[in-house]
């Protein structure tokens, strides 16, 4: 009996010396540094594939199951050996086996429940993973948007600060700008109404001028006929013809009407060969009439027209080629009428502008 007990003690000593306890292996696994592994042999590129990762995990689970089985086997052997070699070995009865069976069944039931919970958790993870990924992408995009908006806000604040420095008080506000715009709209409407009334008055004035010019042409024809008749009567009857007085009165009336139509104020001979005619240019858009002075120069001791000049309110007018043809033709009426019409047209054009 002593020999068997010595053998059992020796076996127990050997088992303790060999360090077969799985707890020591677990502690070594936790304390092991995996950072020292070579990157070339770690298969980091391969682990990026989900299929490879799944197969690797399955292999590790199988290995851990085998390791767990070996641990349970060795633990059972250890307990069995200790029970055999021990002097006070516990008494194993059917009741103790039944208790162990019940505890094992309870542990199995708990394990099964935990496995079901784990499966539910895994299913929840598979269901929520796409949603979490979507929320993550949204959060990431919102974060980048917030960053860009923050940069834009800083740029806007900097630009606003520069504008405030460049444009000190008082600054134009929206209210003052709106009020100024309303005033300008009212002024534009008033100016538009004034322009329309001015255009209407100008059109009426043009019609009046055309009617007066037709009357002037008619009076010119009448004047020419009267002069011709006067010359004819003078040649036939002499200076004592009684019709001369009536013709003279008629001629004076015609000249007065012509002067009133052409606004002729005065005609004065400055010298033997210079005649100065003064006209009043009346514009419906001007309160004060303007004075037109037309100077006619003749060849001395003749009635041949040499040149002509005009001044409007003391300002010399550039007549250009307008007087060339009448001067060459010695047509005083055409010259006077052309200058007068030109000045009236310039006045009307300046009003339009």
Encode pLDDT of 324-343 as tens digits: 888 888 887 788 888 878 88
pLDDT confidence bin for 347, thresholds 50/70/90: confident
Higher pLDDT residue, 136 or 47?
136
Q: Which long-range contacts (CB under 8 A, 24 or more apart) does 104-107 make?
A: none
Nearest to 280 by CA among 294, 270, 269: 294
Residues 6+ apart with CB under 8 A from 9: 85
Q: 275 and 258 in one domain? A: no
Q: In the predicted model, what is the mean pLDDT of residues 295-300?
A: 84
pTM, to two decimals: 0.31
Q: With H, G, I as helix, E, B as strand and everything else as coil, classify residue 9.
A: helix
Encode pLDDT of 124-156 as tens digits: 988 988 888 899 899 999 999 999 999 999 999
CA distance 80 to 76: 6
Q: Within 13 A of 290's CA, how many CA atoms are on the CB side? A: 18
The conformational region for residue 109 under phi > 0 = left, psi -120 to 50 = alpha, else beta, is alpha
Strand partners, 268: 276
Residues 6+ apart with CB under 8 A from 3: none
Would 108 be classed as within a structural domain? no
CA distance 337 to 216: 10
Q: 303 and 234 in one domain? A: no
Q: 283 and 213 in one domain? A: no
pLDDT of 280 higher than 80 = no
CA distance 17 to 190: 117
Beta sheet of 264-271, edge-to-edge order: 264-271, 274-281, 290-298, 305-312, 315-316
Q: 255 and 285 in one domain? A: no
pLDDT of 229 higher than 80 = no
User: What confidence score (pLDDT) does residue 102 get?
Assistant: 93
User: What confidence score (pLDDT) does residue 164 get?
Assistant: 84
Domain containing 67 equals 1-31+56-91
Would 267 be classed as within a structural domain? yes
The most distant pair of C-alpha atoms in the chain lies apart, rounded to whole Å, by: 201
Would 128 be classed as within a structural domain? no
CA distance 335 to 160: 69
**Could you tell me if 309 and 287 are in contact, meaning their C-beta atoms sit under 8 angstroms apart?**
no
Would 86 be classed as within a structural domain? yes
Would 343 be classed as within a structural domain? yes
User: What confidence score (pLDDT) does residue 1 get?
Assistant: 44
pLDDT of 19 higher than 50 = yes
pLDDT of 45 higher than 70 = no
User: What confidence score (pLDDT) does residue 5 get?
Assistant: 62
Residue that is written with structure tokens 């021990």 in the block: 86
**Could you tell me if 305 and 335 are in contact, meaning their C-beta atoms sit under 8 angstroms apart?**
yes
Q: 233 and 268 in one domain? A: no
Q: What domain count does the chain have?
A: 3
Boundary-marking domain end, from 207, 241, 262: 262
Would 75 be classed as within a structural domain? yes
Boundary-marking domain end, from 91, 113, 137: 91
CA distance 94 to 5: 27
Q: 23 and 69 in one domain? A: yes
Q: 84 and 64 in one domain? A: yes
Q: 315 and 337 in one domain? A: yes
Q: 216 and 278 in one domain? A: no
């Amino acid at each position: 009996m002593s020999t068997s007990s010595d053998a059992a003690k020796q076996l127990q000593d050997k088992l303790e010396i060999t360090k077969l306890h799985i707890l020591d292996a677990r502690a070594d696994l936790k304390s092991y540094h995996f950072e020292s592994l070579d990157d070339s042999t770690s298969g980091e590129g391969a682990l990026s594939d989900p299929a490879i990762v799944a197969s690797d995990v399955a292999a590790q689970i199988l290995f851990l199951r085998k390791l767990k089985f070996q641990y349970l086997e060795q633990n059972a052997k250890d307990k069995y050996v200790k029970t055999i070699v021990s002097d006070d070995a516990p008494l194993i009865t059917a009741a103790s086996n039944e208790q162990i069976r019940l505890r094992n069944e309870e542990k199995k039931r708990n394990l099964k429940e935990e496995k079901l919970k784990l499966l539910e958790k895994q299913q929840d993870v598979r269901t929520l993973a796409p949603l979490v990924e979507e929320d993550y992408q949204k959060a990431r995009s919102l974060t980048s948007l917030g960053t860009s908006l923050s940069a834009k806000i800083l740029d806007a604040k900097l630009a606003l600060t520069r504008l405030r420095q460049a444009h000190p008080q008082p600054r134009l506000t929206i209210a003052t700008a709106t009020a100024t715009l309303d005033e300008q709209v009212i002024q534009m409407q008033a100016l538009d109404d004034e322009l329309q009334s001015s255009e209407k008055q100008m059109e009426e004035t043009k019609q009046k001028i055309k009617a007066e010019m037709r009357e002037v042409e008619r009076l010119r024809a009448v004047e020419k006929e009267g002069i011709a008749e006067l010359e004819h009567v003078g040649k036939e009857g002499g200076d004592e013809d009684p019709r001369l007085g009536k013709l003279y009165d008629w001629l004076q009336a015609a000249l007065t009407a012509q002067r009133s139509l052409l606004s002729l104020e005065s005609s004065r001979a400055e010298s033997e060969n210079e005649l100065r005619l003064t006209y009043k240019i009346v514009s419906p858009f001007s309160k004060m009439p303007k004075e037109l002075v037309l100077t006619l120069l003749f060849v001395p001791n003749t009635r041949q027209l040499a040149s002509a000049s005009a001044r409007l309110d003391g300002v010399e007018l550039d007549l250009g080629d307008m007087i060339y043809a009448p001067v060459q033709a010695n047509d005083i009426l055409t010259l006077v009428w052309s200058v007068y019409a030109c000045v009236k047209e310039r006045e009307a054009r300046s009003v339009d502008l």
